[in-house]
Amino acid sequence: MRKTEDFGDLNESTVKEVWNNSSYTTARCLSKDNFVPGEWVGCLDCRA
């Protein structure tokens, strides 16, 4: 997967599919206290 497609490609998937994929759900959980992601997502490189 290319970095520009970390969360999915709307040319290949619906918005619902992208929003609910494992990368997007993991990224949304990063704001929770003590959350340990089970997979790498692009947001891990950007977190402050």
Token readout for 26 is 């993991």
**Contact by Cβ (8 Å): 25, 38:** no
pLDDT given for residue 37 in this prediction:
80
| 46: Cβ contacts below 8 Å, ≥ 6 apart | none
pLDDT given for residue 2 in this prediction:
52
| 38: Cβ contacts below 8 Å, ≥ 6 apart | 26
Q: What is the DSSP letter of 13?
A: S
pTM of the model: 0.63
pLDDT given for residue 33 in this prediction:
87
pLDDT given for residue 19 in this prediction:
92
Q: What is the pLDDT of residues 1-48, one digit of tens each?
A: 555 567 888 898 999 999 999 888 888 888 788 888 887 777 766 755
